[in-house]
Structures are given as structure tokens and as C-alpha cells.
Structure 1
Amino acid sequence: MRDYKVEPQDCVSARRTAMDNHRANPSAGIYVPECTSEGLYARAQCHKSPQYCWCVQPRTGRPIKGTATQGVRPDCDSARRGLKNFKGCSMHKKQEFLDELVQSFIREMLEDAHNKSIAIDTPTSEKGARWKFASIDINSNSVLDKREWKVFKKEWRSFQQRDGRQKKQRLRKCWRNLPRFCDENDNQKITMDEWLACTSVTRDIKTSLPRNQNRRGKNPFSTILKSD
């Protein structure tokens, strides 16, 4: 694999520089990066397209080893899934963690509903995950940004100590790296779809609105329930 180095700068700037260099010297075979509409690096990059292509990290443009192809564009979605495991969180720990995590979402949701005198019929994993997303989404813009990731990370102690299960200490790296893993397109924002996908929650459950006439302020239940 030839070493086409990509400078650790934003894609738009890197592309502009590369195009200027190409115009100055068209025969030099200069690599010009492809960018997304958000200004990130397209996951698949090609040089003298489509003769030689490879996958990159969307935010940095750094190549992902073992993804180079010739004549066709590589399957960068599969490459990402193989790359973005929980750092320090083995597959066995990951499954245990996700099971514990979703159950903790359900318990928190039920406790909050009880405190607010809200009735929830058939608490499910999806309802719990949607409720948790809304409770972290401080600015209610349906996206979790890095500031809100910090809110989630600070809840580690309560997650660890819930039910007195000190064994959760060994799941700490799984907890810490969850937001990064959920960020499917590496744009430092997590949508509801990304959140449900990375917590392994299904999305085919119909719900109805619990009854509570006295609630004030933000309602995290609004993301999981529809009005009657």
C-alpha cells in the first residue's frame, strides 16, 4: 500500500490546498480528498479514482489499515463496524454492559414516573432508551453533543452503585467509551437512531401517553410516548 498521507486538518481546508496544488502541477498526481456536506472526510477516499481507494477516519482523514482496494470502492461501513469496538471493553463485557445499561434505563424511567405519578404500561428496553436519551438531551434539540456526553459520563457512579453491584467497576471503560461508539458518523453528535442502534435496542414498539396533569417543565417521556 502506497502511503498517501493526509494532514490532520479539516477536510475542506485539505481539499482546497490539494486542489490548488493540483492546478499548479496537474501531472503530479496529487491526491484530492473527498468531503461530506458536513465538512468531514468521506469514509471512502480514492486516488486517481477508482483505481486505488481506502477507508479513512471521517474527522481526521487518517487511513484505516487493511481497507485498500483497487478498481472498486471499499465497504467502509463494514470497516468502521470492525474498527469501532469499545476500547478496553471486550465483546463479552460489551454484551454484559449493554444488558445492564438498558435495564438501568428502565429502572430510572420507572422511578422517575413513580415520582411524577405517571403510569407506564409495559416498560420496554426501547422506552427506557428513549427516556434516557431525552433526559440527557439538555437543550431538547434531539441530538446529544459532546457537552451532553459529559452529563452521561458523570452518572457512572450511580450506575455502578445501583443495587450494590460493585462488580460493575470492571465495566467502567465500556461506560466511558459508549458515546464515542454511538457516534456512527464521527461528527461528535448522537441522534436518536444512533443511540438506539448502539444500545442494541429494537425500534418497533408502539406506545401510548401516560396520564399526568400536573407535570411541569421538560418531559423526557414525550420521546417515547404518543398522546391518546
Structure 2
Amino acid sequence: MIKEFQEISLKAGLYLVPTPIGNLGDITLRSLNVLKNCDIIAAEDTRTARKLLNYFEIIDKSLISYYDQNESERSPQLIEEILKGKSIALVSEAGSPIISDPGYRIMQLAIEHNIHIEALPGATALIPALQLSGLATHNFAFYGFPPPKKNRKKFFENIKNNKITAVVYESPFKIMTTLKDLIEILGNDRRASLSREISKVYEETMRGTLSDILKELEKKTTIKGEIVLVIAGE
């Protein structure tokens, strides 16, 4: 067991490394050791990644951008580096790679090439929000972000038709519209919880019906922080 920050030897391969979603203390020792010892870090936001590395005094790392718009181009390049013997850590701007974040394409290529892959456990908004909701957790479905326009109604109808707890991500700029759409399709009285700013100073969880939560948000002058909405099944 690794008990301290240290030099370790990594196999050539792809390492999916979770990063804090708020509190920097949430990063794991294993994640830090992979970031310190890997050959290349592929980051959704290189500025955020550099700040994290500097905070933990991980310096002189090869950092390359990897985000939605360049994922198709970057993935084959990174796979080629791994096949040459390099170890690559993939990090999101915050949270766990691939979960509503870039990484699907490189994962598919890594599997096709029989490359060594490790997914490190760690920070995510999904599980804390589910725990804080007070709703059933023995069976749930994660839906990610609602589509902006096309297939939006179908997205919410799928939640209605699925009888188990649903988890949805949303931005603070769209949450009011999303709640109104949910109320229209699921009704005022569907139980839910809304968590925002998870692991940060102003973390907050609201519980009640969809209508209750909408009314609480309407009292606020501004809404900040990424949001996780947990919706009860019927």
C-alpha cells in the first residue's frame, strides 16, 4: 500500500484520474502519485490542471489539451504515444473522466488496441448528491445533462417512464427551465433533491417536490455552481 507521495513505476497505458470538484483535499494519494509519475497528462482544461499540479508541487509535467472539440484528433495521437511505451493520465476539468466529460473516444481506441487501462476511484458529484437526496439509492439511473433542444422532451419522458431514481446534471443557467420542463412532464408533486457546489464552502442541498425546489430557487437573485438534480421514481 502506498502511504506517502512517492516515485512509482507506471506501466505504459491510460490512467483515468479523478480530480477535485471543489475541495482540493478530496484528491486521493493514488491520483497524486499517478499525476507525478506519468509521462503525459491529457487535460480537459490545461489551466485548471496546471493550477492543481502547482498546488501539489508537481512540476515539469508534459501537459496536452484534450476536450470535446479536439477529442477525435487527439485520441489517435495519444494512443500512438502509449504504444511507444508512454503512460498517459486523462483528467477532466473537475471530477471523473468520461462521466459527462471527454474520454469516450480514447477509451474505445485503448480497448481496440488492448492497451493497459486503469480507472482510479475518486471525486464525482453524482454519488454525494445521491446520498444527500434522501431518495432510494438501491436502484438508480444516471442521465447526464439534458439536451439543449433536440430530443429534450423525449429525454424527460424517459425519466417519467423509468420508475427508478433518476440523476441529472445541469448548469445554473439552465436549471430553472429544466425544472419547469420536468414539472410539465412529471407533475408538481414528484419528489426530488437539488445539490449544488458539492464539496465547496457554499454547498447546499434542497429537498421536496419539484415545485418546492423551483419556488426556493425563484427566491434567489443568482444561482451559482454546477447542479445535480435527483428525482424520485414513481
TM-score range, shorter chain: under 0.3
In terms of Rg, which structure is larger? 1
Higher strand share: 2
Higher helix share: 1
